[in-house]
């Protein structure tokens, strides 16, 4: 399967550029208007509830990114949420942070929620 990724270094640069340009970046199955799995749908629902601006990238439509992302983030599953360039985690972690109120605190600390 790793043969899908032709050049991990070039892919890492592409991913780094995307997470640098988007303060809240969600790599997911599907997109925010049509999530392709329940975990991705849950994270979209949470981000919409906290009313933060975010970008998404559909890993199903980009096989190279889908397989190479795991090497970039060292995280085996999707979705993967990045905030200001740092991996927050997947659905379980984002859900836990949301339920505890820590996600809103994190987004506030990073200057990503309007007051």
pLDDT at 84: 97
Domain count, the chain: 1
Tokens representing 37 are 């799995």
Phi, psi of 111 (to 5 degrees): 70, 30
61 found inside a domain: yes
Q: How far is CA 62 from the centre of its chain?
A: 14
87 found inside a domain: yes
Domain extent, residue 102, equals: 2-109
Q: d(Cα 58, Cα 104) in Å, to the nearest integer?
A: 24
pLDDT at 8: 86
With a CB cutoff of 8 Å and minimum separation 6, the contacts of 54 are 22, 24, 25, 26, 32, 47
User: CATH no. for residue 27?
Assistant: 3.40.30.10
pLDDT at 3: 59
Using alpha carbons only, what angle is made at residue 64 by residues 62 and 65, rounded to the nearest 5 degrees?
Answer: 70
75 found inside a domain: yes
pLDDT at 42: 98
Q: What is the pLDDT of residues 93-106, one digit of tens each?
A: 999 999 999 999 99
pLDDT at 115: 59
114 found inside a domain: no
Q: What is the pLDDT of residues 5-53, one digit of tens each?
A: 678 889 999 999 999 999 999 999 999 999 999 999 999 999 999 999 9
Instruction: Give the closest residue to 94 by CA, choosing from 18, 7, 25.
Output: 25
99 found inside a domain: yes
CA atoms lying within 13 Å on the CB side of residue 111: 2
């Amino acid at each position: 399967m790793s043969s899908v990724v032709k050049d991990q270094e070039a892919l890492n640069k592409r991913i780094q550029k995307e997470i640098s340009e988007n303060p809240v970046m969600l790599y997911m199955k599907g997109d925010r208007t049509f999530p392709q799995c329940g975990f991705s749908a849950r994270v979209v629902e949470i981000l919409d509830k906290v009313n933060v601006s975010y970008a998404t990238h559909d890993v199903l439509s980009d096989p190279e990114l889908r397989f190479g992302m795991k090497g970039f983030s060292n995280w085996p599953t999707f979705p993967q949420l990045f905030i200001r360039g740092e991996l927050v985690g997947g659905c379980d972690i984002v859900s836990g942070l949301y339920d505890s109120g820590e996600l809103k605190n994190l987004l506030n600390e990073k200057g990503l929620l309007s007051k």
